[in-house]
Amino acid sequence: MIAAYDIGTTVIKGALLSEKGKFLAFSSRTLDMVKIGVAGHYEADTLQWKKAFREITAHNLELVGTGAEVRAAIISGNGPTLVPVSHSGEFLSPVMSWMDRRGTAETEIIREVSGRYLDPTFYLPKALWLAGNRPDVYAETGHFLSCPESMLFWLTGNAVTVLPGTHFLQYFWDDNLLDELDLERAKFPEFSKPGKITGVVSAAGAKASGLPQGLPVITAGADFVVSLLGTGAVSPGRACDRAGTSEGINLCTEIEITDPRLMWYGHVVEPWYNISGIISTSGRAFDWIKEITGAGSLRNDELDAEAAESRPGADRLLFLPYLAGERAPLWDPNARGAFIGLGLNHTRKDMIRAVLESTGFAMRDVIEVIAEHGAKIDDLRITGGPAKSNLWNQIKADITGKNLLVPESTESELLGDLILALYGLGDSEDMADTADSIVKIRKVFEPRIENRGLYEDMFGLYRDSYGGLKNIFSSLSGIEDKDKDKDKDKDKDKEEA
């Protein structure tokens, strides 16, 4: 059996899986973000990762008993969260999560130097920000690692950067770019492919994690990569809808698309491409509306039932889900959330439904850009916590016009980990065939024709709403920057005094 783990933004999951994909044991723990209180700053707590990992490991091993043999461990996780690790192996702060956007100025520096755009959420702008704003942390850093890579290091003592394919280099770095930015090459580990044995659990790793010493540890990488395998999105036309705190549309296609509004790279299954559009806050927007409307104590299914009482179109209410800026297809760090058309007639149920529908509109925004290039999406295979919501699934199908497939297991990251582990151990020669044998579809949501016209109109207004507010969003961010400058001047005056 294989010990598989996935570290998300708000939850870490772990399972012991049979080679056929059966869950022999499963456990999860919730995670909290570090409370910063500064716009654009989102940090993760690695102590929580380690504590949760130990608890999950102990629980799962206890469930299966002492007679079962664990053959390997594999860890995927959220990216691009940046973890600075000291020369002595300690995890340093700040650990800037994938949502963190404080590297906006550094993004422009990288664009000037290289001619390419790297969103502030990516690894390199964050590392450059640390070099300029936290030189103490930068100097102490021995390795810059992603979330899952840092946990591999914790277990094995070996530092690698998982690169699913050469096309990914455009979103990472190369030696020339590091030199031009005056960043130390030694802090950026060598690249490794997913499905490779990167080392074994060390004595220290065994003591810290509860896994047996000497256990092989296999590279996985970012959660969206393993989700492609874990949903069976391994042949052209199949797309994975990674639903969670954020939303990721990842299409397996034979067409190379280099549109800057999307991300593109080689699929982990060759020779296909993976065309990706990441939406920053979908599940997080749902959590937010629960919190601010006083519904935090209600279960998600209770909120679903309430939202279902609102008619499709939420009584003509739109929501822009840009609560932490937006990535694809806008790539606008200044974008903000907004209700459009709010009136005295609207209730909490309308607002909740509008938030649910906003994810469908954001997904369609990505899908429309993909379609411009002739790439076809036959179906969407959903994974993650929101896949449990029949209402949300139906809304997505209605708005996108695509069949939405729900697998028997929506723990696609863990299943994808398993498929990579079997490949790394030599049990599997073809990851696509292995995925098709393991991933089974439980339910299909088909688009309802009676809602097509309504959602066509609403989607047009959704796009127009961002276009009309874009300059206002930018101006609001400019006001924030002026306030920050005033605060810096006050601090400087205090120091001089």
User: Which residues face 326 on adjacent strands?
Assistant: 332
243 backbone φψ class: left, alpha, beta (φ>0; ψ -120 to 50):
beta
Give per-residue pLDDT as tens, 414-434.
999 999 999 999 999 999 999
Burial of 483 (0-12, 13-18, 19+ CB in 10 A): exposed
Distance CA 221, CA 364 (A): 27
How high is the pLDDT of residue 303? 93
Within a domain: residue 476? no
Give per-residue pLDDT as tens, 441-461.
999 999 999 999 999 999 999
Within a domain: residue 483? no
Instruction: Check whether residue 435 and residue 297 sit in a common domain.
Output: yes
Domain count of the fold of the chain: 2
Q: How many CB atoms lie within 10 A of CB 496?
A: 6
Instruction: Check whether residue 284 and residue 232 sit in a common domain.
Output: yes
CATH number at residue 30: 3.30.420.40
Q: Are 222 and 411 in contact (CB under 8 A)?
A: no
Tell me which residue range forms the domain holding 127: 2-214
The upper half-sphere exposure of residue 288, i.e. CA atoms within 13 Å in the direction of its Cβ, equals 18
Distance CA 215, CA 55 (A): 18
DSSP 8-state secondary structure symbol assigned to residue 90:
P
Strands (DSSP E) contained in 81-172 are: 83-86, 141-145, 161-162
Closest among 2, 53, 7 to 23, alpha carbons compared:
2
Q: Are 227 and 239 in contact (CB under 8 A)?
A: no
Which of 214, 248, 278 terminates a domain? The answer is 214
Within a domain: residue 497? no
User: Which residues face 76 on adjacent strands?
Assistant: 6, 221
Instruction: Check whether residue 165 and residue 284 sit in a common domain.
Output: no
The upper half-sphere exposure of residue 221, i.e. CA atoms within 13 Å in the direction of its Cβ, equals 21
How high is the pLDDT of residue 168? 83
Distance CA 457, CA 450 (A): 13
Collapsing DSSP to helix, strand or coil, 378 comes out as coil
Instruction: Check whether residue 44 and residue 16 sit in a common domain.
Output: yes
Instruction: Check whether residue 33 and residue 123 sit in a common domain.
Output: yes
User: What tokens appear for 255 in the block?
Assistant: 């067409």
User: Which residues face 200 on adjacent strands?
Assistant: 216
Instruction: Check whether residue 198 and residue 232 sit in a common domain.
Output: no
Angle at 458 between CA 337 and CA 323, to 5 degrees: 10
Instruction: Check whether residue 180 and residue 235 sit in a common domain.
Output: no
Within a domain: residue 261? yes
Within a domain: residue 492? no
Within a domain: residue 486? no
Distance CA 179, CA 177 (A): 5
Within a domain: residue 489? no
How high is the pLDDT of residue 495? 47
Closest among 380, 312, 390, 361 to 463, alpha carbons compared:
361
Instruction: Check whether residue 233 and residue 203 sit in a common domain.
Output: no
Q: Are 36 and 42 in contact (CB under 8 A)?
A: yes
Instruction: Check whether residue 204 and residue 255 sit in a common domain.
Output: no
Distance CA 307, CA 301 (A): 10
Which of 163, 180, 214 terminates a domain? The answer is 214
Instruction: Check whether residue 207 and residue 242 sit in a common domain.
Output: no
Instruction: Check whether residue 190 and residue 338 sit in a common domain.
Output: no
pTM of the model: 0.85
C-alpha separations of 283 from 247, 355, 441, 463 in Å: 8, 9, 23, 20
Q: Which residues contact 444 (CB under 8 A, 6 or more apart)?
A: 403, 404, 405, 406
How high is the pLDDT of residue 485? 54
Within a domain: residue 360? yes
List of the chain residues with pLDDT < 70: 480-497
Instruction: Check whether residue 207 and residue 252 sit in a common domain.
Output: no
